[in-house]
């Protein structure tokens, strides 16, 4: 299998399309002049003061004590040569990602009924969004691309590969997905063909819809899950060696699985999970097996679907190996909008009483989700997206009752929330979503907001795959230490499903956190909207 079109000799490609002239990368654009930031050929080292407040509640009074903790960050400046290995490489998202990267890499323009279209990375927060890094002498904010904040992988430089239960070559997989305009498909097809077909994958029919069986013709043989684990690990090692890679990101963009049952003695601890794999236990899902393979190989694993890939044993294994894992569905369309609009209503002091969401789509994701058990995974993911907004405003929503040991009982008051997904083959990748937000306003009044959202599903999801993969690679190059500590430690992340871990669904809070983190690695404070600089400088 040839899964690295980027490593194909340029002479083979130039006969098809000229190489993109922007393949040369410009040097890091930001230099911070501060005692808190130093540069060497190898590292950017910064001091950052993590400021917050410690709160104690006594007889209804809030006693607030400002606190600040000094942290040093050390970011390796050399960007890793990175491979992106997708599970579900031949699906809608995987084939669209490969094709659009190749279109950007080789500067392929194509004609649509709207006119000439040039390739871009619109929809990527890293490549198509900006952060303010300060103000100029006139008090005007200076905004820079997010990708300029720290040295990051350019999407064009990713080496592409992966697995799929379908054995179609990548050019034919792109055609089957029916996402991209024909003129683009026609021009990028020779490059896609050089990627060959995906590596054989694993297929456990109980975890995905029965309607996927017809696609399952490219499988690792047998039913021995330990043998499957070793096979996947060998695939990762070979891909890394064959392409001279420093880092691999393994990304699940395959079908949504049903939830795995959490069974004591099976997947509740790292050792139990490894033993369950050896015993080919029926509750070890394909996505968990791929995650374990990546963890044991010391590579990043990102889950782009809503199933519970990260069972407790998988999280414990990641912590043991200090591995980078993360991800809980690609909330790209209706759910992302919900994370913004629900936050807007609650922050404005308006109380959503019910949120009713309906959508239909006709791609293979919709086909798989037409099965009840797979839909349930998606329903949980979509329904929980407003939880952190509700928990942040107990003026509007009653808090849960406190049990005998001070532990909250239940979720407390919550909006009625219903999610419906229907499979309609005729609309293909163009998903239709309808949402109704029914809210209480001043003095018993009511407000209803109805939204109709039509979007090309894979063209929204694909940039998120790029953003998560690029950020994951960056995190592997960042280390930290608290003031007074000795050696820098890796900033690995395995927080999912750990008790007490707060999950942030709010898009604004996620974006603000990313901005604050990237600035911290440069020794800069977070942004302030007080506009004091125009008055005090």
At 70-84, the pLDDT tens digits run 999 999 999 999 999
Residue 247, SS3 per DSSP: strand
Rounded CA gap, 254 and 90, in Å?
9
Residues 334-457: name the CATH superfamily: Dihydrodipicolinate Reductase; domain 2 (3.30.360.10)
How do the domains of the chain map onto residue ranges? 334-457
Structure tokens at 533: 């600089």
- Grouping H, G, I as helix, E, B as strand and the rest as coil, residue 353 is strand
Between strands 351-361 and 416-423, the pairing is parallel
C-alpha to C-alpha distances, 126 to 79, 121, 150, 466, nearest whole angstrom: 15, 9, 11, 9
Helix 286-296 with 312-320: angle, nearest 10 deg: 10
pLDDT tens sequence for the chain (537 residues): 334 433 443 333 333 333 333 434 555 678 999 999 999 999 999 999 999 999 999 988 999 999 999 999 999 999 999 999 999 999 999 999 999 999 999 999 999 999 999 999 999 999 999 999 988 888 888 999 999 999 999 999 999 999 999 999 999 999 999 999 999 999 999 999 999 999 999 999 888 877 778 889 999 999 999 999 999 999 999 999 999 999 999 999 988 888 899 999 999 999 999 999 999 999 999 999 999 999 999 999 999 988 889 999 999 999 999 999 988 777 777 777 888 888 899 999 999 999 998 888 777 666 666 556 655 655 565 667 788 788 888 899 998 887 766 677 777 888 998 888 888 888 887 888 889 999 999 999 999 999 998 888 889 899 999 999 999 999 999 999 998 788 999 887 544 545 445 667 778 888 999 999 999 999 998 777 766 655 544
Q: State the pLDDT at residue 359.
A: 83
> From CA 1, how far away is CA 46, in angstroms rounded?
44
The predicted structure's pLDDT at residue 17? 33
For 418, phi and psi rounded to 5 degrees?
A: -130, 140
List, in sequence order, every residue forming a beta bridge with 134; answer none if it has no partner.
142
What is the radius of gyration, based on Cα positions, of the chain?
A: 24
Q: Could you identify the residue written with the tokens 């990043």?
A: 300
Which pLDDT score is estimated for 524? 92
Spatial distance between the Cα atoms of 475 and 467, rounded to a whole number of angstroms: 12
Using CA atoms, how far apart are residues 458 and 99, in angstroms rounded to an integer? 12
Which tokens hold the place of 418?
Answer: 């219903």
Long-range contacts of 48-57 (CB under 8 A, 24+ apart): 48/72, 48/73, 48/520, 48/521, 48/523, 50/520
Residues in the chain: 537
Closest CA to 505 of 348, 390, 393: 390
Quote the CA–CA distance of 323 and 205 in Å, as a whole number.
Answer: 29
- Please state whether the predicted TM-score (pTM) of the whole model is above 0.85: yes
Please list the residues that pair with 87 across neighbouring strands: 163, 252
User: What letter would DSSP give residue 503?
Assistant: P
Q: What is the pLDDT of residue 22?
A: 40
Cα three-residue angle 475-515-501, rounded to 5 degrees: 65
């Amino acid at each position: 299998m040839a899964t690295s079109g980027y490593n194909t000799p340029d002479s083979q490609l130039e006969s098809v399309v000229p190489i993109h002239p922007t393949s040369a990368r410009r040097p890091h654009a930001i230099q911070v002049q501060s005692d808190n930031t130093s540069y060497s050929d190898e590292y950017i080292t910064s001091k950052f003061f993590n400021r917050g407040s410690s709160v104690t509640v006594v007889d209804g009074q809030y006693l607030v004590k400002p606190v600040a903790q000094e942290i040093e960050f050390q970011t390796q400046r050399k960007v890793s040569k990175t491979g992106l290995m997708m599970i579900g490489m031949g699906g809608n998202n995987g084939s669209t990602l490969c094709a659009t990267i190749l279109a950007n890499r080789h500067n392929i323009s194509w004609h649509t009924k709207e006119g000439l279209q040039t390739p871009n990375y619109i929809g990527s927060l890293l490549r198509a969004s900006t952060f303010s890094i300060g103000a100029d002498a006139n008090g005007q904010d200076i905004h820079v691309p997010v990708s300029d904040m720290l040295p990051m992988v350019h999407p064009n430089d990713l080496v592409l590969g992966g697995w799929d239960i379908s054995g179609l070559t990548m050019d034919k997989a792109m055609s089957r997905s029916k996402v991209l305009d024909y003129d683009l498909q026609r021009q990028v097809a020779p490059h896609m063909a050089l990627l060959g077909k995906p590596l054989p994958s694993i297929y456990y029919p109980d975890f995905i819809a029965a309607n996927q069986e017809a696609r399952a013709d490219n499988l690792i043989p047998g039913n021995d899950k330990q043998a499957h684990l070793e096979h996947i690990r060998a695939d990762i090692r070979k891909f890394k060696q064959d392409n001279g890679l420093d880092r691999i990101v393994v990304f699940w963009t395959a079908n949504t699985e049903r939830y795995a049952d959490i069974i004591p003695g099976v997947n509740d601890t790292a050792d139990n999970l490894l033993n369950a794999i050896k015993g080919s236990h029926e509750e070890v899902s394909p996505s968990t097996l791929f995650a374990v393979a990546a963890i044991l190989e010391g590579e990043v694993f990102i889950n782009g679907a809503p199933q519970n890939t990260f069972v407790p044993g998988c999280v414990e294994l990641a912590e043991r190996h200090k591995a980078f894992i993360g991800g809980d569905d690609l909330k790209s369309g209706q759910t992302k909008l919900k994370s913004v609009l629900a936050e807007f209503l609650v922050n404005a002091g308006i109380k959503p009483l019910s949120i009713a969401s309906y959508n239909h789509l006709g791609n293979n994701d919709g086909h798989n989700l037409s099965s009840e058990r797979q839909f349930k995974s998606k329903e949980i993911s979509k329904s929980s997206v407003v939880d952190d907004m509700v928990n942040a405003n107990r003026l509007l929503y009653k808090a849960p009752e406190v049990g005998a040991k001070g532990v909250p009982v239940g979720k407390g008051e919550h909006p009625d929330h219903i999610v419906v997904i229907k499979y309609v083959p005729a609309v293909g990748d163009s998903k239709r979503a309808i949402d109704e937000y029914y809210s209480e306003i001043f003095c018993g009044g009511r407000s209803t907001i109805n939204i109709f959202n039509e979007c090309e599903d894979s063209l929204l999801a694909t940039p998120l795959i790029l953003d998560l993969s690029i950020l994951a690679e960056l995190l592997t190059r960042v280390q930290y230490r608290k003031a007074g500590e000795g050696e820098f430690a890796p900033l690995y992340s395995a927080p999912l499903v750990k008790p007490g871990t707060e999950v942030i669904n709010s898009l604004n809070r996620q974006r603000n956190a990313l901005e604050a983190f990237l600035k911290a690695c440069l020794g800069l404070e977070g942004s302030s909207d007080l506009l004091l600089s125009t008055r005090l400088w």
